Amino acid sequence: MQSPSSLRLVALAVSASLASLTTTTTAQLVGTSTAEVHPPLTTQTCTKDGCKDDKTSVVLDSNWRWLHKDGGTTNCYTGNTWDKTLCPDPKTCASSCAMDGADYTGTYGITSEADSLSLKLVTKGPYSTNIGSRVYVMDEDDEHYRMYMLLNQEFTFDVDVSELDCGLNGALYFVEMEADGGMKQFPTNKAGAKYGTGYCDAQCPQDIKFINGEANIIGWDPSKSDKNAGSGKYGACCGEMDIWEANSISNAYTSHPCSITTKTKGAYRCTSEKECGVDKNRYSGVCDKDGCDFNPYRMGNKTFFGPGADFTIDTTKKFTVVTRFITDDNTAKGTLTEITRHYVQDGVTHEMPHSNHKAIKDMNSLTDTKCASTKTLFGDKDDHKAKGGLAQMGLSMSRGMVLTISLWADHAAQCLWLDSDYPVTAAKSKPGVSRGTCATTSGVPDEVIAKQAESTVKFTNIRIGDIGTTVKGISIGKSSAVTQDDSEEDTPATKQSNDTPSVDVAAVKGNSEVGGEADEEAVDGAATKETDSEEEVDGAATKETDSEEEVDAAATKGGDPTATKKAEGANPVVPLEADDSEVDPTVAGVATSVGAEEASPTKPTAACKRRH
């Protein structure tokens, strides 16, 4: 979202002082109050001949936007309820309501310059105070999302997480949205990708206001703990690949496949609690909400990633993250078999450290074998395998995925699944429980927002290309995840152009810190009945929204401890009880489609989002 997977996103937004100002949600028509101008963001495509600039940009998720009567100023959605006159049924609502453009910097704290994108946690505008945001990368035509084809490719970016402390998640991930935001398939959607429509993820978020071109008002259940949140009958499901969910303490990357067979592209609208994977039906749904994740700290490497010179990757400084999507035949048409990770800092390349857990000590990447082994060791249900594993994840990649970037705080689980001990009632010595050094009392949204209001995450130099072309110094060949008996010598990396960021090839090295539990053995299969992994809480269980929209300040004081990682309104004070799953910020990375406070119908209130 771990969105999130995921989860995995709960961005929080606090309503403005103007009691009459309306909040934003996903609209299907286009308003005229504010022009939509996408912040430019230069990205790159790389080959063996070098990297070329792409004139891309970013767009704000539609759930944040002001939703009002088409041609008027009457709110279609106020607080956590729909206007029954404008929205008596899904189709009428879609044809009656419009959404407007966004003031990216003034209202949402989103700024870009050249190849740099910054997201600020708290932005105080003239009409509202916004918390968190979620954006998508647009193609050069400025009308469609850029579709990233990841198989047999290398995806790289630089990131600065130095200002993100416990309880925050600066996320970057891919979801299988449609390039046009659903306009062609659903003609009632007149806004499309240009206004950030069509979101979906592996949490099957039910807070999305419009799905398949229709308002999600059937069975709409206003949140009892958040006057801006609610959930409808339907959810928006699709494959999700969480490349990066992190703060300065911990990070994780996670695969979330979906076994959707009746639809090949874009959001699949789940129509029942079983299909959406609600509550006890979590593992009966169409998507793997838990996902298969790799968090170095959770794998026992406790000095690899963190703030200060004592860590291999010092998060007080910028660094580069390199992710490779390896197929069985080393072509873009092959089957996804492994996802590897490298880091580059101060000219030195570091491979992902191997796990210090004895049962999985040879693992330092995502493979189906690694996923199965960690699920067994940690006592989690292997829904990743049940939903098709990496091969199924690869099918989503083969159809193209949309790059999503977000910053959010977690009302459901305080980001403990990312940077602390989770579940909080589990023994810290149990494999998989410790995910970072943050206290189990950290991450309370109100405290995070108050203490880290100025926090900003910055992503720069985003690039994709053939393996070995986005950064120098990383060898090409079988990954180090292969056992010693099966390993082969790496072949030299492809020669790069002068445009390719360089690192000291001789300095490339792995890292395997001590710190794993002393005696870890595979957990008995029966233990899988309960999952303790960092996985996203079932979105349906929370009946809170999974989109990232503004949350009224007063509403954030209470919450439902069963809410999903992304859903807003979860109790920010009492840690979640031991659960058989963890929340995923990504899922929706990663949020609750929260409506904004009633306000002057001519100005949008900063919307709050889940995540991811």
Residues with catalytic roles = 240, 245
The contacts of residue 141 (CB under 8 Å, 6+ apart) are none
The contacts of residue 159 (CB under 8 Å, 6+ apart) are 170, 172, 244, 246, 318, 319, 320, 321, 457, 458, 459, 460
Burial label for 85, CB within 10 Å (0-12, 13-18, 19+), is exposed
Structure tokens at 466: 């053939």
The contacts of residue 14 (CB under 8 Å, 6+ apart) are 128, 129, 130, 131, 449, 550, 551, 552, 553, 556, 606, 608
Q: Which residue has the tokens 């009892």?
A: 224
Nearest alpha-carbon partner for 270 in 58, 607, 546:
546
What is d(CA 409, CA 447) in angstroms, rounded to the nearest whole number? 10
Residue 14 is classified by DSSP as: B
116: three-class secondary structure by DSSP = strand
240 - beta bridge partners? 175, 256
460 - beta bridge partners? 116, 158
Q: Which residue has the tokens 């700024």?
A: 111
Q: Assign 3-class secondary structure to 453-490.
A: CCCEEEEEEEEEEECCCCCCCCCECCCCCCCHHHCCCC
Question: Does an H or E element contain 445, and which?
Answer: helix 445-451
